[in-house]
Structure 1
Amino acid sequence: MLRRLWVLIFYVPLCAWAQTETRLTWLDNRFRVDPEIEQITFIVAREQPSQSVVLVAPNGRKYYADRHAKTMSWYSDKGMDIISIDYPMAGPWQALGKVSSNNGIKIVSNIELDVDQLPTQLYQTEVLKFRARLTQNKQPLLLRDFLERVQLEVIFYPITVDVGDVSAKDPAPIVVGTFADNGQGYDEIGGDGIFTVALDVDVVPGKYRVKIASTNGVFERAVEQTVLVYPSLITTTFIQSHQPFVSHVVKIATNDDQAVVGSLAAYLRVKQPQRQPQIIQTRAQPQQSQLTLKWSNNRQVGKAWWRGWAYVTDTLTQRELVFRLAKQHYTHIAPVTVDTSSVLAKRQREQQLAAEKTEQLQQRLLWLGGANLIVMISVMGWLLLWRRKRVPKADLVIPK
């Protein structure tokens, strides 16, 4: 019996330390770090209310949430501290504070960030499912307290050509997506260590350095890739109807050189005034490279919108592409009614007035012409009389 007791005393702690995740509830909150460990994370649950713990290294140096070494990342919120250390000092470490007696301290080591390989050729407005995984010792990390606080982002850094202008600033980075491990959206299972994002490549075409990294200080990990973003393979045209019996139209076309002919499909969600949203979907025939989607104008006044997705296959890589069709708003306005009878009567009155004015003008011109003729005749007669009076009589010649 005594021999079994000694076996339990010595063997059980050794088995506990053999695990990659260790839970400690010792009264003095001490834990030993082996020399072979290159990276370790302490997850310290605290009683409430309490401040962040103080971490004491084997050499007695103290670290705080707001004052710690550059090789540390420290995340603190209500009830928990997550402290990651690269190349930690071997020996006994200690956490001083109101450490929870129920949860204590958990230790994970050798955490790695593994991400999907992005296609080297992306397209503007393309949306693709992209995943990242957290592992420890090549196995999925399933520690929910840790996973719930991890925040991963996909950041695009534009790569510009050096033109020798030292005063030019580098373009601002673009956050394209934020990962989640919550079992919602594109994420399949919450808490399984696999973070999923619907990567919306809504950036200007060009060359980018893509960085996948933690951003909230839980741990410092980053993976980088280089990609080229090309212009979108599809063009979308919306033609709004302004007539009661004419349909609204969305036309989607693809580039025949880059997209497989006949692979185009589309899905629209349409919301019109005083109507429930309706779904419109169709696919191209084998020899088609464009689609036309229509919905009737319901003649109700108010705001309306549509949005959707387009699906097509890339010719070069045979990759199945998904494009988001951004939400587009438009407005139904009341039709303008015109009283044709009043318009016709008005037009007839205008024509009659114009005819009367023309007739009056003609009469005035005739009277003016006659008056001018009389004046001219009178003047000419007076001139002839005046000339005759002015001509002298010839002298009488008497013959010799």
Structure 2
Amino acid sequence: MSLARFLIVLWVCLVSAALPLNAQQQTEQNQPMQLMDGPMDNMLPIEGQRFRIDADIEEITLLFFREPNSQPLILIKPDGSKWYDSDYPLERVTWYTDPNFDMIKIVDPEPGPWQVAGRVDKQNKAIIVSEVRFEAEPLPKQLFQNERLKVEGTLYNGTTPVSTARFRETVVLDVLFVSSNNPDFDNFGADPTRVAEFSDNGQGHDEQAGDGVFTGRFALDVVPGEYLPTYQLETPLYERSFEDEAVVVEHQPVTIDFQLAEERGADNGIEVSLDEKLVNPSSVAINGSVSYPNGEERRFSVTKIDSFPHVIPLDNLAYGKHLVELTVFATSNQGREFELQFNNLSFISVEPVAEPTAEELAQQARQEAVRKAELERQQREAEEQQLIVNLIIVAAVNVVLIAGAISFVWWRRRSKRLNNDPATAQKNAEKAEQKAQKKAQKKAAKSE
């Protein structure tokens, strides 16, 4: 009997010890996810497709990553009703869907357990998007026109650096240089200029993809002056702008000109001048390339320059348009290393006119003598022809004048003879009398 009681007591103890453990395991398995717990408040593990929203949340933005090219998710509210990407309350919800993610902003969300239905990416975590901001390295106070500058920065979601690679894919980071409208500078009233885009994709000047460090390559092809660097952050649901302290972009301290060959076979040249008040002359190095009119391309480097202006010779391979690109590396007198980029430079070389030889000069002299003799002959013939024409005209005029004079004398003599004839005089008197009678009749008719 004692043995039986002992066995019963032992069994009860074992069951009593196991029950809390099983209950704890069951509770952990069924426990919904808490959005606001833990040091990583903006990370939301998707386990069991459920999460909880606390009662004091006034607005929340959720970012759910899906398997590539899957259908948009379905949100299931605590009361069991569903929201779809095409059916949700517009006055409270903003929903952006992409082939790979859903970003949903909810105003006054219902507290309690929520569920999400869909092909959620198991390798990533859903994120609560709070105050997304970007912090970049401070820019130098002195910059140069046409400078290329590498700048790194970190993207934050709230106070936590963003470590989820796919979240960074949803953000666009641009940099604008906005004129401070200081009338003391040349860029007063200039339009904003986009000078860089930040990325964390391991391409270009970004060293490693997904390491959380965003890299931007500034291209300061702007008018010299004072600018306010403005970082523009854009997500599918909202935009943010972060303004940095004012910087001054100086005139480029390096100028480029071209020297064209004046003789056949001579080289062309690139003339590089330097403002030694801004730049240490001994620090200058140059890389460049030339595209020739015949399609050939050549690269060159200059690492030692004794004095400025310095001329870089270019082989004269063909005549026509040459395209030139230059990169200048130097150190300012303030000790800062910088890089200048010169793109779209060009010049046109024209084939020089060759000097004629002695034989060619003699031939040209003979040709010139023949040409002059021919011109003189043609001129003499023209003068002779003109003289003949003038003589003909004078003779014709004289003939006309003489004929006219003879006709006039004949007419006068004939008129005198007719006037002295009695019969002719009688006829003339009768005609005069008839005219007088007609005039008298007309006057009488008018008076009646």
Provide the residue aligned with 2:393 in structure 1: none
- Aligned match for 1:248, one of 264, 268, 274: 268
Q: In structure 2, what is the Cα distance between the partners aligned to 1:188 and 1:47?
A: 26
How big is the shift at 1:170?
6.2
User: Contact conserved, 1:239 with 1:250, CA < 8 A, in 2?
Assistant: yes
1:259–1:313: 8 Å Cα contact kept in structure 2?
yes
Deviation at 1:297, TM superposition (A): 0.9
CA distance, structure 1, for counterparts of residue 356 and residue 78 of structure 2: 91
Q: Deviations over 1:227-279 (max 9, x none)?
A: 22221111111224465522221122221211123222111122335565332
1:147 to 146, 165, 168: 168
Equivalent position of 1:198 in the other structure: 217
State the alpha-carbon separation in 1 of the partners of residues 72 and 227 from structure 2: 42
Distance in 2 between residues matched to 1:349 and 1:220, nearest whole Å: 80
How far has the Cα of 1:62 moved from its partner? 7.5
Deviates more, 1:210-219 or 1:43-52: 43-52
The match for 1:238 among 253, 258, 277 is 258
Alignment partner of 1:308 out of 326, 332, 335? 326
Equivalent of 1:298 in 290, 298, 317 = 317
Q: How does 1:35-46 map to 2 (within 5 A)?
A: 41-45=62-66
User: Partners of 2:55 and 2:261 in 1: how far apart?
Assistant: 73
Q: Across the two proteins, how many residue pairs are aligned to each other? A: 349
List alignment gaps of at least 5 residues for structure 1. Answer: 163-168, 365-400
For residue 340 of structure 2, the aligned residue among 323, 332, 338 is 323
The answer to whether the Cα contact below 8 Å between 1:56 and 1:63 also exists between their aligned partners in 2 is no
* Structure with greater helix percent: 2
SS at 1:24's partner residue?
A: coil
Does residue 347 (structure 1) correspond to residue 369 (structure 2)? The answer is no
Letter in 1 for 2:247: V
Amino acid across the alignment from 1:178: E
1:65-94 deviation per Cα after TM superposition (whole angstroms, max 9, x unaligned)? 998679x98653223123468x98694474
Please, which runs of 5 or more residues in structure 2 have no aligned partner?
1-17, 384-448
Of Structure 1 and Structure 2, which has the larger fraction of its residues in strand?
A: 1
Taking a change above 3 Å as real, the CA distance of residues 156 and 4 of structure 1, as seen in their structure-2 partners, is same
State yes or no: 1:186 paired with 2:205.
yes
Which position in structure 1 is the counterpart of 2:283?
A: 263
1:290/1:41 CA distance change after superposition, 3 Å? farther
Asked if the contact 1:308/1:327 (under 8 Å) is kept, the reply is no
Describe the shift of the 1:119–1:83 C-alpha distance in structure 2 as closer, same or farther (beyond 3 A).
farther
Indicate the SS of the match to 1:186.
coil
Task: Tell me the distance in 1 between the aligned counterparts of 2:189 and 2:62.
Answer: 35
Q: 1:215 maps to which residue?
A: 234
Q: Secondary structure at the match of 1:311?
A: strand
Determine which structure has more spread, i.e. the larger CA radius of gyration.
2
| Cα deviation, residue 283, structure 1 | 3.0
Aligned pair 1:176/2:198, yes or no? no
- CA apart distance, 1:132: 2.1
Partner secondary structure for residue 179 of structure 1: strand
Quickly say closer, same or farther: Cα 1:171–1:39, change in 2 above 3 A. Answer: farther
Q: Are the equivalent residues in 2 in contact too, given 1:262–1:289 (CA < 8 A)?
A: no
Query: What secondary structure is seen at the aligned counterpart in 2 of 1:172?
Result: coil
The residue type paired with residue 158 of structure 1 is: S
Deviation at 1:304, TM superposition (A): 3.6
Q: Deviations over 1:297-336 (max 9, x none)?
A: 123x665422021122221x31111110113244566676
Equivalent-residue separation in structure 1 for 2:78 and 2:233 (angstroms): 25
Alignment root-mean-square deviation, CA: 4.4
1:23 equivalenced with 2:45 (yes/no): yes
User: Quick one: structure 1 residues 93 and 283, their matched pair in 2 at CA, closer, same or farther if it must change by over 3 Å?
Assistant: farther
Question: 1-side partners of 2:266 and 2:53: how far apart?
Answer: 77
Q: Work out whether 1:156 is the aligned partner of 2:177.
A: yes
Equivalent residues of 1:45, 1:103 under 8 A apart: no
Q: Distance in 2 between matches of 1:89 and 1:140?
A: 26
SS of match in other structure, 2:166: helix
Using CA pairs below 8 Å that are at least 6 residues apart, which structure has the higher relative contact order? Answer: 1
- The equivalent of 1:396 in structure 2 is none
The 1:193–1:272 alpha-carbon spacing in structure 2 relative to 1, beyond 3 Å, is same
Change (3 A) 1:138 1:37: farther
Q: Distance in 1 between matches of 2:94 and 2:310?
A: 52
The answer for the alignment partner of 2:20 in structure 1 is 3
* Counterpart contact for 1:264–1:290, Cα < 8 Å: no
Q: In structure 2, the residue corresponding to 1:318 is in which secondary structure?
A: coil
* Partner Cα separation in structure 2 for residue 34 and residue 269 of structure 1: 65
Q: Which of 270-279 and 5-14 deviates more? A: 5-14
1:64–1:159 Cα change, 3 Å = farther
Q: Deviations over 1:7-51 (max 9, x none)?
A: 444557679953622221434x54435859997542342785645
What amino acid is aligned across from residue 182 of structure 1 in structure 2? N
Q: Distance in 2 between matches of 1:244 and 1:185?
A: 43
Superposition TM-score, scaled by structure 1 size: 0.70
Give me the identity figure in percent. 20
Is the contact between residue 75 and residue 216 of structure 1 (CA under 8 Å) also seen in structure 2? no
Provide the TM-score with structure 2 as the length reference.
0.63
Counterpart check, 1:82 vs 2:99: no
Residue identity in the other structure for 2:364: K
The answer to whether the 8 A contact 2:74-2:117 is kept is yes
Secondary structure of the residue aligned to 2:335 is: coil
Q: Structure 1 pair 327/103, CA: closer, same or farther in 2 (3 Å)?
A: same
